[in-house]
Amino acid sequence: MPSTTQTIDIQVHDRKVLDERLDAAVRCLQEAAILTGTHGIMVTRNRPGSYTATLSDKVPFGMTREIIL
């Protein structure tokens, strides 16, 4: 499990809403990442309609990675 400093949970039932919320979460985390300069962003699909976006020291700064569980 990646070490994290900030996490945003996203629960949706509609694809359009999903895209909007994922974009907003990534923008928010990008702002936080700039403050540390050491973390990237990991977006995890936990199950359909359930996602977690988090700052992770396992992802290089300036990068966003996606995984599906």
Burial of 13 (0-12, 13-18, 19+ CB in 10 A): exposed
Q: What pTM value is reported for the model?
A: 0.86
pLDDT category, 5, cuts 50, 70, 90?
low
- 4 pLDDT band (50/70/90 cuts)? very low
Q: Which amino acid is at 65?
A: R
Residues ≥6 apart with Cβ < 8 Å to 16: none
**Residue burial 27-54, b: 16+ Cβ < 10 Å; e: rest:** eebeeebeeeeebbbbbbbeeeeebbbb
Instruction: Provide the pLDDT confidence category of residue 59 given band limits of 50, 70 and 90.
Output: very high
